[in-house]
Amino acid sequence: MTVLVGLLMAALLPVQDEMVAAGNVVVRLPAGWKAEQKPDGLFLSPGDLKEDQSYVVIIAPGGKATGNLAEGLEKSWKEFEGSGKVSNRAPGREMKTEGGTEGLLSVGILDTKDGSRLLVSIALFKPADRFEAVMALSPRDGVFQKYSADFGALLKSLRFRNVELPAYELVASSKGDALSVAVLFKDGTALSRLPEEGLDLFDPASAKKRFEGSWGTHETKDGEVRIVFGDKTVALKPGGDAVWLKVAPSTGLPLEGKYSTAGKPGEIVFKADGSFEDGGGLARLYTAEEAGLKLPKSGTYEIANNTLRLKFAGFTPKVVSFVILATEPGTDRVFLQGMPFQRAR
């Protein structure tokens, strides 16, 4: 079988959260869908496929855009021609994501060199100076058509980190090991807490229900920021008694050194090359369910939008909030999931 056909025969995939990320792309999974990260991209599949059915959506690794969307789409189809003959290819149809990123969608048939037949949809988007491609493949017309609505909804909900960063600011203060954080959104709303998983895949619609009672409003006037949560008002102004500081998103920040919680055994060793080793420090962040898993002692990490994502081979990533206060010397102390981790000197 060709590589393309083999991709369709992937094993059952682990269930993921509703929002998942693949490089620069953030996607909301249709209900019941599953996802798996592979070297060739993020692979998505409906959870209700029968044993004799195959349907896969692939979010391919993106890259620097060369040319316009039409030229990029033509190049994408030519890459498929290396596996067989493309026929009945429809012209690219203009579309937009909910966030306003423009794209082209085209459908065609691939007759592979080993005699197989695949229906293929290619959607190509151009967020700023990048191309991001999403492909849907199935060998059967009925299955391809069955999931076309889910595929369309998935495309509309795509977000791109390089042009659609969360529209928020964080302000925080700490007293000893206690951290207080408020999230100020650009639409004037405010959240009195930082979600434990950070804000990289933050979904405002679901958060309204999840954090009901923790929402308020904010405004800035004459240099003073006023945040209102219910009957409580917090006034932040230069020279005030409370020291509240803006918190940077820290996207792409490299960490280096051994970090541990005060008075607790165990440490996490972060390396500037994007890898880490667990010396028992991650136990402070695990849920009871996660504590029972035999997780690897090493992996890779990524920081984006006040979120630290720890990736273990063969396991769903561990995702926690990440905060560094401006008063901290360099990255000697970081707050992970609200807990302070100090770097050994």
CA end-to-end distance (rounded Å), the chain:
55
CB hemisphere CA count around 135 (13 angstroms): 25
State how beta strands 333-336 and 318-323 pair.
Answer: antiparallel
With a cut of 50, say whether residue 15 has pLDDT above it: no
**Cβ(56)–Cβ(45) under 8 Å?**
yes
Q: Taken in order 42, 47, 52, 54, is the CA torsion positive or negative?
A: negative
Q: Are strands 298-303 and 307-311 parallel, antiparallel or unpaired?
A: antiparallel
220: which strand partners?
Answer: 225
For residue 13, the model assigns a pLDDT of 38
| pLDDT exceeds cutoff 70 at 94 | yes
pLDDT tens, position by position, 201-242: 788 778 888 999 899 999 988 778 889 998 888 887 765 555
Give 4's pLDDT tier (boundaries 50, 70, 90). very low
Mean pLDDT of 184-193: 91
Return the structure tokens found at 149.
């609505």
Secondary structure of the chain as H, E, C letters? CCHHHHHHCCCCCCCCCCEEEECCEEEECCCCCEEEEECCEEEEECCCCCCCCCCEEEECCCEECCCCHHHHHHHHHHHHHHHEEEECCCCCEEEECCCCCEEEEEEEEEEECCCCEEEEEEEEECCCCEEEEEEEEECCHHHHHHCHHHHHHHHHCCEECCCCCCCEEEEEEEECCEEEEEEEECCCEEECCCCCCCCCCCCHHHHHHHCCCCEEEEEEECCEEEEEECCEEEEECCCCCCCCEEECCCCCCCCCEEEECCCCCCCEEECCCCEEEECCHHHHCCCHHHHCCCCCCEEEEEECCCEEEEECCCCCCEEEEEECCCCCCCCCEEEECCEEEEECC
Give me the pLDDT at residue 329, please.
67
| Chain-centre distance for alpha carbon 195 | 15
Say if pTM beats, i.e. exceeds, 0.85: no
**Non-local CB neighbours of 263 within 8 Å, separated by 6+ positions:** none
- pLDDT of 236-295, one tens digit each? 776 555 567 888 888 888 899 999 987 778 899 999 999 999 999 998 898 878 878 788
Give the pLDDT band of residue 166 (cuts 50, 70, 90): low
What pLDDT sits at residue 246?
81
Structure tokens at 160: 């791109």
Q: Report yes or no: 317 and 300 within 8 Å, Cβ to Cβ.
A: no
User: Using alpha carbons only, what angle is made at residue 129 by residues 124 and 130, rounded to the nearest 5 degrees?
Assistant: 40
Tell me, what's the pLDDT at 89?
Answer: 93
The encoded tokens of residue 14 equal 């682990």
Per-residue pLDDT tens digits for 38-90: 888 999 999 999 999 999 999 999 999 999 999 999 999 999 988 899 999 99
Domain made up of 3-160: CATH architecture: Sandwich (2.60)
Q: Has residue 328 got a pLDDT over 90?
A: no
The CA–CA distances, whole Å, from 177 to 244, 269, 287, 334 equal: 15, 21, 20, 11
* Residue indicated by tokens 């056909």: 5
Q: Name the CATH superfamily housing domain 257-343.
A: Uncharacterised protein family Atu4866 (2.40.128.290)
- Residue whose structure tokens are 């003959």: 85
To the nearest whole percent, how much of the chain has pLDDT over 90? 50
Beta strand 339-343 with 19-22: parallel, antiparallel or unpaired? Answer: unpaired
pLDDT of residue 110: 94
Q: Name the residue ranges covered by the structural domains of the chain.
A: 3-160, 168-247, 257-343
Q: Give the model's pLDDT for residue 264.
A: 78
The pLDDT value given to residue 241 = 52
Which one has a higher pLDDT value, 320 or 10? 320
- Phi-psi category of 163—alpha, beta or left, where left has phi over 0 and alpha has psi -120 to 50? alpha
pLDDT for the residue numbered 243: 67
pLDDT mean across residues, the chain: 86
